[in-house]
Amino acid sequence: MPFKMMILSALAATTALTLISAPARAEGEVNIYSYRQPDLIQPLLDAFTKETGIATNVLFLDKGLVERIQAEGANSPADLILTVDISRLTEAKEAGVTQPVNDETINKDIPAQYRDPDGNWFGLTTRGRVVYASKERVAQTEITYEELADPKWKGKICTRDGQHSYNVGLIASMIAHHGEADAEKWLAGLKNNLARKPDGGDRDQAKAIFAGECDIALGNSYYVGLMMTNEKEPEQKDWAGAIKVLFPNAADRGTHVNISGMALAKNAPNKDNALKLMEFLSEGDAQKIYAEQVFEYPVKPGEEASAIVQSFGPIKADPLPLADIAANRKKASELVDKVGYNDGAEM
């Protein structure tokens, strides 16, 4: 039975899904299981089909992607996995639903720091974990992650849930750079500077700055572009207009970055087509299209970000391999609970 395109909303993601019982072995297609919204990747897939004649089928899930592939087992129609975070890439590898790829084109285009050492996943774009700062109330133009624990920011910082993968990734990078003990002290200091209990998403932090609830916040760089261009909810343009983007540690090691990425599914029935798509996604034209669609940075050296992203200012990315950071994610999650981060500042 041909694989059909299914797009599941967050509400529908809780609905039981019917497992496909037979392999999808149609010629000239590739089946993609994606954590990334279909409308964000469709221009890429359209360009791939135009160039190669290979059709693309997308199954979007906002959660449970790895579990679905595990349940489908050897009969899974999944060829390629697209994700939005290093944690989900490492989760897929550790769950045994990926297979290694050693491809000359991909390895040439994607720097080693954004590749799994075993070839099980590859980064496509990066985004910085930056500081949103009030244009009205914050004069400084430089900041470090370490400074977020300085008492001068007491009652002035907003963040989302400390256990969210974006924050866990940042904390894991602090462990990688400073060791677990110092990272714990830093996280406790950050907690005590919170203006309120962690809540909402990254855009909500910009909204809180706009509303005067806090002066600075942690957020991903690409959300600024999404807010600036949001025609459906134009009030988000005001949130974006109230903040400036500060790239932490620009004067030393650089800003922590995360990735969107891809992995070849373990039992890919259309493996050759999937590899062609992976090569396509790693090359310059696709990198440019993808980065412009999602307001992120291409991982391929020499490829420029969109004009909107460049307007945030230059980014110097922390060169520490993401695999090294990912290795500290469990410790980072434990520290969030240990310091009681989500309880907010002590009064």
Residue tagged 């005590």 (tokens): 192
Binding-site annotation, residues = 222-223
DSSP characters over 75-129 = G----EEEESSHHHHHHHHHTT-B-----HHHHHHS-GGGB-TTSS-EEEEEEEE
Residue 233 sits at φ, ψ, to 5 deg, of -130, 75
Q: Which ranges of 100-228 does DSSP label H, i.e. alpha helix?
A: 104-109, 165-178, 180-192, 202-210, 221-228
Q: Identify the CA nearest to 344 among candidates 208, 178, 154, 129.
A: 154
Instruction: Check residue 128 and report its DSSP letter.
Output: E
Rg (alpha carbons) of the chain, rounded to whole number: 20
- Collapsed DSSP state (helix, strand, coil) of residue 154: coil
Beta strand 80-83 with 257-264 is: antiparallel
Instruction: Check residue 31 and report its DSSP letter.
Output: E
Which positions ≥6 away from 67 have C-beta within 8 Å?
Answer: none
What token pair was written down for 21?
A: 């019982």
Question: Which residues sit opposite 264 in a β-bridge?
Answer: 80
What token pair was written down for 1?
A: 């039975």
Give the side-chain half-sphere CA count within 13 A for 40: 20
What token pair was written down for 38?
A: 């279909």
Residue tagged 């030393």 (tokens): 252
Binding-site annotation, residues for Fe cation = 222-223
Q: Rounded to a whole number, what is the largest CA-CA distance in the chain?
A: 63
